[in-house]
Amino acid sequence: MSGAIDGAYGVFMRNLETRTPVEAIKELTILGVPDDMIEAIRARFDAEVLEVKELDEPHVVVDHGRETWYTGPQKADKYWPAVEKILRRQGWEDDGIESLDESSTRIVSLLNHPQEKTFRSRGLVVGYVQSGKTTSFTSVIAKAADRGYKLVIVLSGIHNGLRRQTQRRLEQQLVEPNPTQWHQLTDSEHDFRPTANPASFFGTSSRIKVLCVVKKNGSVLTKLANWLEGASQFLVDTPTLIIDDEADQATVATKKINPLILRIMKSLPRSVYIGYTATPFANLLIDPSAQDLYPRDFVANLPKPRGHFGTEVIFGRDSVDGEDPEDVSDGYDMIRQVPQDDVELVRPLKRADIDTFSPAMVGSLRDAVEHFLLTTAARRVRGTGNPHNTMLIHTSVNTAVHLSYRRPLLDLLDRISGGLKDPECLDRLRTAWDGETKRVPAEAFGETKVDFDALVVELPGVIRDCRVVMDNSSSEDRLDYENGPVVAIAVGGNTLSRGLTLEGLSVSYFVRAVSAYDTLLQMGRWFGFRNGYADLPRIWMTDELKNWFRHIAVVEHEMRRDIDRYMTENLTPLQFGVRLRTHPSLLVTARAKMQSAVRASASYGGQRLQTHYFHTNAEWLGRNIEAARNLVSAARSQAVEHTNDGPRHVFRDVPYTTVLGFLTEYSFHEDWDVATSEMLTEYIQKRVRNAGSLRSWSIAVIGNPVDNANAFSFSDEVTVGRVIRSRLEDSRNDYADIKTLMSRRDAAVDLRGKFAGVSEKDLMRAREEQAGRSGLLVLYAIDKDSEPATDKAKEFRVGLGADDHVIGVGLVFPEAVGPDAEAHGYIQADLSGIVIEEEDFSAVDGEDE
């Protein structure tokens, strides 16, 4: 039998000199070689090819223990060097190229070897909104093609504009540098249209690559699925890479698109599906046990590019998991308030009002338009960076509302133009410009401030060039950046809310009502790169939206940290589900996409929590003062030990029930979404119940030295001087954000030793050694008239201005391990239905298994 196989294999190998492997196998069938022998020949050939390939690309250990077949670009590569050359020509610097090369190599290393017999892998790559995801997957495609992947299918959003944009990018960077090496099934003008003979694309020379860029549309994907099924016998030998751009849109939990993508994968025996998105919440919550697109094989983060304006950079975030709040960015001062009274004047609040709605050019919208004109003029003076200038107005998804903005905006531009001859108008514009450039200094971004006298010369030309563009699904007007510099105020909805780049976007006016993290993030077109004008962008939005974005910055930070565990701990998405922090008012994603999600294990363990948002009305503050005094009175009577070091009092070994009583009386501000009284109570009770920790607490009161002018009494024996905490400048009534309440030194008030300058990690280690599993609660009495302490602080802080003194609270929790760590406030994919086969080490050499 082996001799017959050897003979038939020799015939097969000779046929390969003029035929493809599929054609050579077909020839053996015609010659009457039995099916079992053909299968043996195919397996032998696959093994030899893989062996030869691995001589060129040996298995190595990379990324903290992950084995991979791909070690990076080689001298003979064609496609990646072409991409790199184009990027350098476009002005990319060495560090940017190096980062892209490293991250794309890591992603390709997670793919299957193209010569493996069969594979249908599923992965996910998480980037940032407007951060160069297209460049990343273009580089991944190029490197995969260099190693033998032949068919590339890119699912590019649901709108024609994004599909055309992606098609053109791939043509420029992949096809045009190597035109004889690619077949294109789509082009810039046409989505997929079936050809008469699909076999011709896969039955010829294996060196030719095939590119197909399609939008996620039911009829288009049906045509592609039918066409691929007609070529099924040739696809057996076709390693395929499927890139799903905007993978959380239309892909997950849809009745039509999702089954079609799965059907396409079924016709491709050698295929890797990679979802690309900046908002992966829906993808991470797919049921892993279903035959769906849960990223079973890998999830990878893209590095944050240098100079990228993301959620945290613009909005800041609160600290998490033992971070020092003082080390966490509070964002740039680029957000401007849309008063709640303006909202009903710039978008209809009821469906019945849509057809008759006419927007008012309220003060906040006028300020935004004027800043856009000033910014565009300043950029013309600088003469650097992106040549385009765009403003986004996004108040409603309804196209009728968009159209209603045209005439009022044109009239506003005419009024501003006429006002340029009025000294009073010019003085107002000068004051606005000087105020904005003081709040966000150009020097902080390596730029030079443009004086008003220099930019005012450019204003007439800017207003003359400014277009008002209605860009939505029913308009014929579109932003076109390919025919010269653009100055445009774009009013739109969903066509502007995902994927498409608004070139030179410097001003956004955003009051759109949304209900989910991913929708909110994708509508934030202001994320991205602002080379040459990083000091100038501004965003007008409501305070509620601002706080939502700040919360999402925390969600993103924790999510990316979890994703990094896959590499650092050599885990797979079937072993560990990424946890997503929830919000009391926002959904993580659409409800249909969360049906399989479960509450996740999370913890306040090892964290230092501190209140920094407060109401300023007397009634709210008075209730908190009473709660604090009740706590101190209880602690005095229950504590095993009371120490007093001047203005610092510590009561040790207070029962946890006393802390729970305080949490029922004290009111946390609703914007402090780190925790609520209910969440903290449930967390403490679970730790007490599950592991016996947090049964005892230290209660501390921290203040300043006492004098007659600043004394605050928590009880007869506990009087301290009030502390000073001014607030960040904000126009809201009954609101104060002090940003930082508690120092790291204060978090060690119940410990022995000196802790000035120690790291948060060292502090928590010291707490574990000295306090064990006890918690710490710290009270502060903040002076109601607290003023900024320095001239620098006065630039962005004002007096606290509260009706009564403010009680701040800090909470420090010991590290939590095992069942001690369980809490709520997170969701993740349900991994309970997954059975992972692990290597069995029970059998010893020489024993029967």
Name 276's Cβ contacts closer than 8 Å, sequence gap at least 6: 124, 125, 127, 133, 136, 137, 243, 244, 245, 246, 247
The mean pLDDT value for 553-580 works out to 86
SS (H, E, C) 273-342: EEEEECCCHHHHCCCCCCCCCCCCCEEEECCCCCCEECHHHHHCCCCCCCCCHHHCCCCCCCEEECCHHH
Q: CA-CA distance, 293 to 654, in Å (whole number)?
A: 51
* Residue 549 φ then ψ, to 5°: -65, -35
**pLDDT of 20:** 65
pLDDT given at position 30: 79
Contacts for 396 with CB less than 8 Å, ≥ 6 apart: 347, 348, 354, 402, 493, 512
Phi, psi dihedral angles at 390 (to 5 degrees):
-130, 140
Q: CA 527 to CA 614: how far, in whole Å?
A: 29
CA angle 624–625–628, rounded 5-degree value: 85
- Asked if 248 contacts 280 with a C-beta cutoff of 8 angstroms, the reply is yes
pLDDT at residue 844 is higher than 80: no
Question: Taking the CB of residue 749, how many other CB atoms lie within 10 A of it?
Answer: 22
| DSSP H stretches of helix in 156-279 | 160-170, 199-202, 218-230, 232-235, 257-266
In DSSP notation, 790-832 reads SHHHHTTEE----SS-EEEEEEE-----GGGG---SEEEE--T
User: Residue 610 is inside which H or E element, if any?
Assistant: strand 608-610
CA pair distance 578, 279, nearest whole angstrom: 13
Look at 26-35, 263-272, 529-538 and tell me which has the smallest mean pLDDT.
Answer: 26-35
pLDDT band at residue 838 under the 50/70/90 scheme: very low
The predicted structure's pLDDT at residue 19: 64
> Given this model, what pLDDT does residue 205 score?
53
Local confidence band at 843 (pLDDT 50, 70, 90 cut-offs): very low
Residue type, 312: E
Task: Supply angle C-alpha 17, 19, 23, rounded to 5.
Answer: 140
pLDDT for position 308: 86
What pLDDT is stored for residue 691 in this prediction? 72
Which one has a higher pLDDT value, 47 or 649?
Answer: 649
Residue 461, helix vs strand vs coil: helix
Least confident of 70-79, 283-292, 786-795: 786-795
What's the pLDDT score for residue 322?
58
Q: What is the mean pLDDT of residues 140-163?
A: 93
Residues of 472-505 as b/e, b for ≥16 C-beta within 10 angstroms?
beeeebebebeeeebbbbbbbbbbbbbbbbbbbb
Cα–Cα distance, 665 to 679 (Å, whole number): 14
- Residue 745 CA to residue 757 CA, distance in Å, equals 8
Identify the band that residue 378 occupies on the pLDDT scale cut at 50, 70 and 90. Answer: very high
What pLDDT score does 718 carry? 94
pTM here? 0.73
Instruction: Please state, rounded to an integer, the average pLDDT across all residues of the chain.
Output: 87
Residue 103 has pLDDT above 90, yes or no: yes
Banded model confidence at residue 619, pLDDT cuts 50, 70, 90: very high
pLDDT for residue 842: 28
Angle of CA points 607, 608, 609, to nearest 5°: 110
Element (H, E) at 631: helix 618-638
User: How many whole angstroms from its chain centre is CA 712?
Assistant: 44
Is pLDDT larger for residue 537 or for residue 833?
A: 537
Q: Which of 13-17, 592-596, 657-661 has the lowest mean pLDDT?
A: 13-17
pLDDT classification of 59: cutoffs 50, 70, 90:
very low
Query: Of all residues in the chain, what percent are helix, strand and coil, respectively (each to 5)?
Result: 40, 20, 40
N- to C-terminal Cα separation, the chain: 31
pLDDT at 545: 92
Task: Decide which of 471 and 589 is more confident.
Answer: 589
**C-alpha neighbours within 13 Å on the C-beta side of residue 294:** 26
- Where on the phi/psi map is residue 617: left (φ > 0), alpha (ψ -120 to 50), or beta? beta
Residue 727's pLDDT is: 92
Query: What's the pLDDT band for 61 if we cut at 50, 70, 90?
Result: very low
Is the separation of the CB atoms in 563 and 126 below 8 Å? yes
Q: Please tell me the predicted confidence (pLDDT) of residue 52.
A: 45
pLDDT-wise least confident of 206-210, 275-279, 373-377, 781-785: 206-210
Question: From CA 219, how far away is CA 225, in angstroms rounded?
Answer: 10
Name the token pair of 650.
């510590």
State the DSSP code for 195. -
Report whether 512 contacts 525 (CB < 8 A).
Answer: no
178-197 tens-digit pLDDT: 999 999 999 999 999 988 77
- 817 pLDDT band, cuts 50/70/90, is low
Candidates 517, 93, 445, 462; CA nearest to 277 is 517
Two structure tokens written together for 620: 């709210």
Q: What pLDDT band is residue 840 in, cutting at 50, 70 and 90?
A: very low
Largest CA distance in the chain: 107
What amino acid occupies position 256?
K
pLDDT tens digits, residue range 477-509? Answer: 777 888 889 999 999 866 665 656 789 999 999
Tokens of 346: 């710039």
Give the alpha-carbon dihedral of 75, 79, 80, 81, to 10 degrees.
60
Work out the pLDDT band at 802, boundaries 50, 70, 90: very high
Characterise 757 by phi-psi region: left (phi > 0), alpha (psi -120 to 50), beta (else): left
Question: CA-based angle 485:487:492, to the nearest 5?
Answer: 120
Other Cβ atoms less than 10 A from the Cβ of 570: the count is 13
Token digits of residue 784: 């109601």
* CATH class belonging to 71-309: alpha beta
| Residue linked to tokens 């992966």 | 280
Rg (CA), the chain: 31
Note the residue count of the chain.
849
Q: Kindly list the domain boundaries of the chain, sorted by start residue.
A: 2-56, 71-309, 339-541, 608-815
Q: Give the model's pLDDT for residue 757.
A: 64
pLDDT at 29: 80
Task: Answer yes or no: are the C-beta atoms of 755 and 766 closer than 8 Å.
Answer: yes
- 821 pLDDT tier (thresholds 50, 70, 90): low
Q: Report the b/e string of 237-275 with b at 16+ CB within 10 A.
A: bbbbbbbbbbbbbbbbbbeebbebbebbbebbbbbbbbb
Q: Average pLDDT of 561-575?
A: 81
Beta strands in 657-802 (DSSP E): 696-702, 711-715, 718-721, 727-728, 736-737, 775-782, 797-798
Mean pLDDT, residues 731-740: 86
Q: How many Cβ atoms from other residues are within 10 Å of residue 360's Cβ?
A: 12
The arithmetic mean of pLDDT across residues 710-730, rounded, is 92
Tell me what pLDDT residue 474 has: 67
Per residue in 347-373, pLDDT tens? 998 888 888 999 999 999 999 999 999
Helical (H) or strand (E) element with 462: helix 459-465
Query: Is it the case that residue 516 has pLDDT exceeding 70?
Result: yes
